[in-house]
A and B are shown apart, each in its own frame.
Chain A
């Protein structure tokens, strides 16, 4: 009974921290009601949310987004065959969250008949709001909803031969604001209204067969994608930049983009006492067809009337084949050696036509499809040796090679020369596991890597990583500490990029009694990167090339979470929580700083981004009887940036609800 109470306490306290609702506390230990050989349990939490937001509404919607109104905050239905021999099913499990009008709603359903079938449904609806934040110069607003659903049916789930059928859908719809630059590469930008309509459907079928310890899993799927966005100018516009003469009086663009990606996935595996082998092989034949037709009327940056039409169409292919083969041997119970080989081959090619008519005259009549092919081969060998029950050692080595083939070139007719390059990467890993007592475990890992030709200045070249973790667990008390560092030094012929990432964390949980539980964590995430900047700047009428500036970005992020949960007389549950995030940046108090790295004020102002985001919360839940609970909660959100108050907000949110269960 004590353990059950503690489990309930843990569940309530842990779930209390991120968002205040739905309520985590169970009404009681529901035994359900029996009908026709089934045990039925059900619970509903019906309530109302409220909010009051001061400051920037857009940032609130982008970070929190809970609104007012009645919700089915959560529900659960469980129907279980008591004997495991139901007629049509043995189990139904339905769970929902946020139904009604929450921005994040989801439902999952499982229906199962032992040995005959299992059906799983997952449905999610996420309303993501992207306000054109000031740091993005107020552009590219989006207020779209993504709906996901996954259906999976498994026939004969417990047999050695089983079959799979599945269907998934991913849909994104809603209004958005995008932008376009017209009528040439130096001209002004204009805000455009976009009606976003994207949809992906996946159908899949497969089987799994087992024989003599081997297991073969084959899946064939068809992924159909279509995007039918329409973009238009809502009203005549003078553009973003007041110093530019460009105007746009009319603009519309349609750009259907449809395609299919049929795929095969084959997995073969076997595990015995002395060895294990598995392989995963996939092939995806990606094809897309596209048309883009856009027309704009207005004046160019010289004040001349312009009519411009752009038409492009074509077909794209992206066949991709991957394979991963793993072989493990267990020479003794203390030693495991694993070798892994992974292969990936992908190439993007196709055909396209491009026509641009400016005042009836064709410009840039032909643009070839740019070819990009990537082939990666990686091989790694790991050995895990545990000579003693309290000691384990791990050694690993990996070699990767990647070949990138590319054909680039715009405004060019005919076959372009192909460039080819090879990258190699060697990494080594050393790890130690210690378990000096049953209550204490410690893990340490180090990794070092050397790449001969990284693809980007920010890619890993000479890198080293270290990870350490210690955990002490005794009874209902747990404390853990964590450290992780990632250092990378990359360099080119003239410029260099270096990053240092250090993460420290500690967390503890303590169930002090059957009625009191606390959970606390603190983490510091430090990042500083030093890279080169190469850009042009205007001094008077002269254009200056700047090549000796540096981008020195510093972030010192401190996060703390604290939650406590206690129960009064077995009837009243009280939860208190605090989440606090603060980036102290590089310690400066003003926008400008780090002048030694760059003289441009615009760069100095974004080399650090101090902010704070605090969210205290409290919740009260009263058990009225064995089937009924009343809940109320309050959560406050405060967001502020040190260098600007434009995007800050403070929100009071809360809810009250009734939970009914039997």
Chain B
């Protein structure tokens, strides 16, 4: 019995900690407005204002306290960051993610966020989103343009989009999220291996390239297996290139000849990618531009050599 008494205070403490915050611990967003007028005066433009406008949400899901926690202690202490239950600048990345995902987890686009590369690298919600001071018109991004946000970390990708020929991301007409899901995507079912990891599927279940390049989708009587089996990146650098068709090489025939060697166990029949025929005199410039004759290189309905 004496032992039991000895543990009683600890048990009481644990019990109190485990209890959810009482309703009286919540003071409502109007109390926050008293001091944080600069934030509250424009908060009606914030998507999170919906919780206040609804008027029927539980206190723990309404306004400021839905993210920052019950504020009675903070108010009672007359302010101070240490008295805010969830001051985001003091939370660990995991705690930030847990707080936001308490409401935002139930979305298809965020179905894989907890195992996404960003989350695993401790890049969580507040690294990209600014809840109170976003300059972006939508999605509360930290920068006005989405590309600037992504370039902030992906320096080498920024370098690729600085190439002379590229998708028009810098010009604002193509967004990173047209092809990528920063919240984590489902596995790329068109490819082997763990990569690419953050690429969003398009048109049901295909590579995102097919969302725009609709004529390459097929099906064709004669498919160029490179497109279907290994994907567009076999020949193309999607971000930027020295070739106007975003090929991996500055001229087309080196791309082709690096595979079409006729050797090994490669290709559809596992007997080598067909070598070009004898009349292709590669010293003659007319044979150095493969797509001049093999026009339908992505797939043809009329010719197995993609002539028409």
Contact = CB atoms under 8 A, between A and B. Distances in A.
A105 B173 contact: yes
A647 to B, nearest CB: 9
Contacts of A372: 223, 225, 228-229, 268
B79 interface: no
A352 B169 CA distance: 40
11 contacts: A95-B137, A312-B301, A318-B218, A378-B192, A433-B121, A456-B234, A457-B259, A495-B261, A509-B152, A609-B242, A611-B242
B283 interface: yes
A245 interface: no
For B243, B263, B291, the residue with the greatest tally of chain A CB atoms inside 10 Å of its CB is B263
Nearest to A158: B50
Nearest to A400: B192
Contacts of A618: none
A449 B193 contact: yes
Contacts of B293: 179, 181, 189
A529 B42 CA distance: 55
B301 A8 contact: no
B278 interface: yes
Contact of B108 (A269, A310, A421, A611): A269
A210 B105 CA distance: 13
A115 B205 contact: no
Contacts of B283: 537-538, 600, 602
Nearest to A125: B173
Interface in A369-414: 369-370, 372, 374, 376, 378, 380, 382, 384, 386, 389, 392, 394, 396, 398, 400, 402, 404, 406, 408, 410
A343 B189 contact: yes
Contact of A8 (B135, B229, B260, B275): B135
The contact size tier of chain B is 35 or more
B143 A14 contact: yes
Contacts of B170: 18-19
Nearest to A447: B194
Given A328-B115, A400-B193, A538-B283, 10 more contacts: A136-B244, A137-B289, A198-B215, A316-B219, A326-B111, A404-B225, A491-B264, A494-B263, A535-B276, A611-B242
Contact of A581 (B106, B155, B162, B264): B162
Contact of B281 (A482, A532, A538): A538
Contacts of B50: 84, 114-115, 158
A84 B44 contact: yes
A348 B219 contact: yes
A380 to B, nearest CB: 6
B204 A221 contact: yes
A131 interface: yes
Interface string B40-72: 001011000110111000000000000000000
Contacts of A80: 44-45
B144 interface: yes
B120 A433 contact: yes
Most buried by A among B50, B188, B279, B301: B301
Given A76-B137, A181-B307, A421-B270, A495 B301 contact: no
Interface in A486-528: 491-495, 497, 503-507, 509, 521-523, 525
Interface in B208-267: 211-212, 214-215, 217-223, 225-226, 228-230, 234, 242-245, 249-254, 257-267
A178 B234 CA distance: 23
Interface string B142-181: 0111011001110110111011110011111110000000
Task: Determine the interface band of chain A, counting residues with CB < 8 A from chain B.
Answer: 35 or more
B264 A398 contact: no
Task: Kindly name the residue among B130, B249, B292 whose own CB sees the greatest number of chain A CB atoms within 10 A.
Answer: B292
A613 interface: yes
B203 interface: yes
Contact of A223 (B121, B168, B188, B203): B203
Contacts of B53: 81, 83-85, 90, 114
A647 B20 CA distance: 69
Interface string A458-496: 111000000001010000000010101000000111110
A297 interface: no
B280 A493 contact: no
B186 interface: yes
Interface stretch (A46-54, A259-267, A651-659): A259-267
A294 interface: yes
A458 B258 contact: yes
B137 A344 contact: no
B187 interface: yes
A186 B158 CA distance: 44
A219 to B, nearest CB: 9
Contact of B258 (A227, A286, A531): A531
With most chain B CB atoms within 10 A of its CB, the pick from A4, A133, A324, A425 is A324
Given A581-B162, A583-B242, A19 B258 contact: no
A493 B264 contact: yes
A346 B304 CA distance: 20
A108 interface: yes
Interface in A589-642: 600, 602-603, 606-607, 609, 611, 613, 639
Nearest to A449: B193
A583 B111 CA distance: 40
A559 interface: yes
B126 interface: no
B154 to A, nearest CB: 8
A423 interface: yes
B117 to A, nearest CB: 9
Contact of A97 (B133, B172, B249, B291): B172
A7 interface: yes
A602 B164 contact: no
A139 interface: yes
Given A200-B214, A557-B159, A423 B243 contact: no
A225 B222 contact: no
B166 to A, nearest CB: 8
A575 to B, nearest CB: 13
B111 A269 contact: yes
A57 interface: no
B244 A62 contact: yes
B259 A456 contact: yes
Contacts of A175: none
